[in-house]
Amino acid sequence: MDTSAVIETQGVNLWYGDNQALTNVTISFPEKTITSLIGPSGCGKSTLLRCLNRMNDLIPSCRIEGGISYHGTDLYGPAIDPVHLRKQVGMVFQRPNPFPKSIYDNITYGPRMHGIRDRKTLEQIVEESLRKAALWDEVKDRLSASAMGLSGGQQQRLCIARTLAVNPDVILMDEPCSALDPIATAKIESLMEELKSQYTVIIVTHSMQQAARVSDYTGFMYMGELIETGETAKIFENPEKELTNNYITGRFG
């Protein structure tokens, strides 16, 4: 077992009905690092990501075998409550999806669900989360305005702030920049860099440039298998497998 790993998978196989989407995936995600999952469309990146906070539990046809541990505890075992797990292993999606409510309510929704009612504490959480998500200065004077009035990039940072508000230790990001322009993308990327001092970040991205820019480790997936994983510089400069080399040099994808 890798002791620095927050989450580890061991020989994970996953099916949607009869269709196998993951085959024998073994990977570990070291604490306070950024890992990117890359690979061609349909190779299973999002499926793997969703295994890590049991989002796939919500898909009835989905069946999973193999081991996944979270801080050494079986993530699919009786000791784990999936609702509590999703607070600790938060998720940010491809399209910013704020609630049609105020900026303030978007941030306080999670903490309230988990029983925090004290106004002062909630205000503190709002400011802290927005600061960590590099959004505070842009919105501090309009916390009661609708989140829907923010730009796409601001909405995505709000969604990150909403994830941070419930005090996670892992943040999963499923193509978080694919709906954003280059400036908003650059902001999210520099935010990720800051987040990794406190959180373990795992990101699915279609952009190899993004993976190379932001991540410490990269996993390359192909047709449901993890072909190769390792330090990002090694994967991009000196991969061990020919398939990885063909992908990163643009020979397919």
Ligand X SMILES: Nc1ncnc2c1ncn2[C@@H]1O[C@H](COP(=O)(O)OP(=O)(O)OP(=O)(O)O)[C@@H](O)[C@H]1O
Nearest alpha carbon to residue 44 among 7, 12, 70, 89: 12
The 5-34 site mask, x for binding ligand X (CB under 6 A), equals: -----------x--x-x-------------
Among 34, 38, 44, 219, binds ligand X (CB under 6 A): 44
Residues 54-113 contacting ligand X, CB under 6 A: 59, 61
Closer to ligand X by Cβ: residue 59 or 113 = 59
The 228-247 site mask, x for binding ligand X (CB under 6 A), equals: --------------------
How many residues bind to ligand X according to rule CB under 6 A?
13
| 42 scored as a contact of ligand X (CB under 6 A) | yes
| 41 scored as a contact of ligand X (CB under 6 A) | yes
Per CB under 6 A, the segment of 36-44, 69-77, 95-103, 115-123 that binds ligand X is 36-44
CA 75 to chain centre: 16
| 47 scored as a contact of ligand X (CB under 6 A) | yes
Closer to ligand X by Cβ: residue 21 or 214 = 21
Q: What 8-state DSSP symbol labels residue 179?
A: T
Find the helix or strand (DSSP H, E) in which 74 lies: strand 73-74
| 43 scored as a contact of ligand X (CB under 6 A) | yes
User: Which residue is it, tokens 């929704």?
Assistant: 109
SS3 sequence of 117-131 = CCHHHHHHHHHHHHH
Long-range contacts formed by 126-133: CB under 8 A, 24+ apart: 126/165, 128/164, 129/161, 129/162, 129/164, 129/165, 130/103, 130/158, 130/161, 132/161, 132/164, 132/194, 132/195, 132/198, 133/157, 133/158, 133/160, 133/161, 133/164, 133/191
Closer to ligand X by Cβ: residue 38 or 161 = 38
Closer to ligand X by Cβ: residue 17 or 72 = 17
Residues that bind ligand X (CB under 6 A): 16, 19, 21, 39, 41-47, 59, 61
